[in-house]
Amino acid sequence: MVQMREFRVVMPLSLEEFQIAQTYMVMKMQQENTTGTEGVEVLENRPFEDEDFGKGQYTSKIYRFQSKAPTWLTRFAPTDSLVMQEEAWNAFPRCKTVIKCPYFTRFILTIETIHKADCGESENVHGLTEEQLSLRQVEMLDIASNANDYWSYVIGSSNIDLSQFQSARTNRGPLLDGWQANCSPVSTAYKLVTIDAPYWGFGSRLEQALLAAERALFLESHRNCFGWIDEWFGMTMDMMRELEKQNDSSLNKKLGQACTVTDKDELDDMRTISSC
């Protein structure tokens, strides 16, 4: 059965800041999770324009995180076959990501995101039909929550406690109980996740596992967007695009051969640019 979950993530950022924070966060998390054997390979990263999205950035990537697959899933497929292919169309404030697995040819995961300058109270921002609305479940995610589960452990944690954190450059934070209602600036990512794994015997379990994984990923990635604010604050999207080129090359080099530049050096370079 198709699963449809709308995760709403409120952020103490303006929309313009959100776009920069998100781009920086993706690069840094990719660097932290890519080694010589697993990680992210960037096949394509280029501007695009079409009638549906308008102008934006198109990316095509391969994710190799076989060691993080649940043990029960490896009973149905060899570990080295659990490689994911991702296509993404980022036309902020609207984005779409499609993830497939070549081994499970009927599996598809789609994430459609709309960012709005509100605190998560808008309804049906994705323009769903009555039938789709009957399937959709809405879940609010609080980036200041320290709740952890199995997938939080698998994805990893930056260990940023946003209930204690305060930005040195913007003076924002800490995020205390009820912060969403008293926050300025504020914006929300409305992330509609649709999963279809039509496989008898384990399809439903796979769908539920992936929903839990996406929840943990959304929490961690958006915590980092704010927790790393002093690293990216003041940067522009033009600067981000230049960093993306360096980042893509570095990721592919890591997966192809031993990298001569350490993660720390690469991220220090990013911080140096952001402080200029």
pLDDT for position 239: 96
Using alpha carbons, list the distances in angstroms from residue 252 to 42, 92, 101, 210: 7, 25, 20, 26
Q: In the prediction, which pLDDT does 90 show?
A: 97
| 8 A C-beta contact, residue 98 and residue 108 | yes
What pLDDT does 42 receive? 95
> Per DSSP, which regions of the chain are E strands?
3-11, 39-50, 54-64, 83-91, 94-100, 108-116, 136-141, 187-196
CATH classification at residue 259: 3.30.530.20
50: domain range? 3-274
First-to-last C-alpha distance (Å) of the chain: 51
Which of 8, 23, 87, 41 is CA-nearest to residue 239? 23
State how far the Cα of 126 lies from the Cα of 192, in Å rounded to an integer.
8
CA-to-CA distance for 212 and 209, rounded, in angstroms?
A: 5
CA angle 181/158/96 to nearest 5° reads 65
Per-residue pLDDT of the chain (276 residues; tens, 9 = 90+): 799 999 999 999 999 999 999 999 999 999 999 988 889 999 999 999 999 999 999 999 999 987 887 787 777 777 766 789 999 999 999 999 999 998 889 999 999 999 999 999 999 999 999 999 999 999 999 999 987 777 877 787 788 899 999 999 999 999 999 999 999 999 999 999 999 999 888 889 889 999 999 999 999 999 999 999 999 999 999 999 999 999 999 999 988 743 333 344 444 444 443 443
Instruction: Please tell me the distance from the alpha carbon of residue 80 to that of residue 14, in angstroms, as a whole number.
Output: 41
Q: Which of 272, 274, 256, 267 is nearest to 41 (CA)?
A: 256
Cα-only R_g, the chain: 19
| Residue 12 and residue 186 in contact, taking contact as beta carbons nearer than 8 Å | yes
Report phi then psi at 84, rounded to 5: -105, 140
CA-closest candidate to residue 67, choices 127, 147, 156:
156
Q: Supply the pLDDT for residue 276.
A: 39
Give the C-alpha separation, 231 to 71, whole Å: 37
| SS3 category, 164 | coil
- Which conformational region is residue 27 in: left (phi greater than 0), alpha (psi within -120 to 50 degrees), or beta? alpha
3-state helix, strand, coil in the chain (%, to 5): 40, 25, 35
Kindly state the tokens that stand for 209: 């596992």
Q: For tokens 């994984």, name the residue.
A: 213
Q: Residue 15 corresponds to which tokens in the numbers above? A: 């929309």
pLDDT recorded at residue 73: 76
Domain count, the chain: 1
